[in-house]
Amino acid sequence: MAFLHKLSKASSLAGASLIRRLSNVPDNTVYGGPKPQTPNQRVTLNQLRQKYKKGEPITMVTAYDYPSAVHLDTAGIDICLVGDSASMVVHGHDTTLPITLYEMLVHCRAVARGAKRPLLVGDLPFGTYETSTSQAVDTAVRILKEGGMDAIKLEGGSPSRITAAKAIVEAGIAVIGHVGLTPQAISVLGGFRPQGKNVASAVKVVETAMALQEAGCFSVVLECVPAPVAAAATSALQIPTIGIGAGPFCSGQVLVYHDLLGMLQHPHHAKVTPKFCKQFARVGDVINKALLEYKEEVTNGSFPGPSHTPYKMNPKDVNGFSKELQRLGLDDAASAANEAAVEPEKMNMVNTGSN
């Protein structure tokens, strides 16, 4: 029995070693190591319906990558939308049209790895759902299966879009509709223009939202419409409305992560940042300041200093290393190694001199 116990213990240690080598968890001798987290329950459609019935505002943020998704998780945001606006915000295009399904799936997967609590919604990009209901359902399935999303969002309220939304819902996939300013339709809208500013346009917004509800959408985004139009649509519907540039009378609000943080101060981003966006921070200024300080410290040799040079060799190994370098005819390298070991605070000066 003792032999079997030892054998079992040895096997367990070997297995643990194998798992450690194969693990993608950062080694805490190099990185700080993973921090334990208490995962919160994923937000569900039922929970959103309960918030809506109670009159509690729903929070949505559009994000595109793992770090931003983690921030949304920490903040307790209800819905994370992986928007095709990544085309403009992340890829630098002037419109949402160029982004591909492949690129959207990359963003979706990154967000899904970071956001464990919010309901995850992926946009159907332009050109991936307009041809037929079959194409629309196939694209929606990929957003869930390959992108790790919980639901999809599609734009517009034409009969073909209503039919597509209905087909996707019937395929068992939750759908958010999107009316008002629909950026994928800028070709027919004549640019990024607010909608619902006259009687006919306002009525169309409400009727389209109601048609999307009838098709089975669980929520509708209202973008860039006057507050009275958003209020009317919210009153007429029995599903939540999520406003963006639509005033305070919606069931919830959505903004883009980079916009609300004031992350980008570049002229191109200023050109595509909407007027309705409130900057809750000036993160871009903080980033620029930090990068300038980093550049300055690297240039003047103060970074990295001793406190950021944590990996050491014991004196015996330093001596052996130096002898090996000398044996190889690298006397200057041996001297540099010895000096760095004895006086680490001067290491930057040594490195600068050797270059």
Tell me the torsion sign for CA atoms 227, 231, 237, 242: positive
| The residue type at 267 | P
Compute the half-sphere exposure of residue 323: CA atoms within 13 Å on the CB side of its CA. Answer: 6
Which CA distances in Å does 305 have to 65, 219, 308, 310, 314? 32, 54, 5, 10, 19
Tokens describing residue 345: 């605070």
Peptide bond before residue 304 is cis, with ω within 30 degrees of 0: yes
Report d(CA 219, CA 238) in Å as an integer: 9
Annotate 41-73 with b (16+ C-beta within 10 A) or e (fewer). Answer: eebeeeebeebbeeeeebbbbbbbbbebbbbbb
DSSP assignment string, 14-44: HHHHHHHHH--SPPTTTS--PPP--PPPPP-
Which residues share a beta bridge with 222?
179, 243
DSSP assignment string, 294-325: HHHHHHHT-SS-GGG------HHHHHHHHHHH
Annotate 113-133 with b (16+ C-beta within 10 A) or e (fewer). Answer: ebbbbbbbbbbbbbebbbeeb
- DSSP 8-state code for residue 346: G
Identify whether the C-beta of residue 176 lies closer than 8 Å to the C-beta of residue 166.
Answer: no
Rg of the chain (C-alpha set): 28
Identify whether the C-beta of residue 152 lies closer than 8 Å to the C-beta of residue 124.
Answer: yes
Catalytic residue among 103, 223, 293, 324: 223
324 is catalytic: no
Residues forming the active site: 223
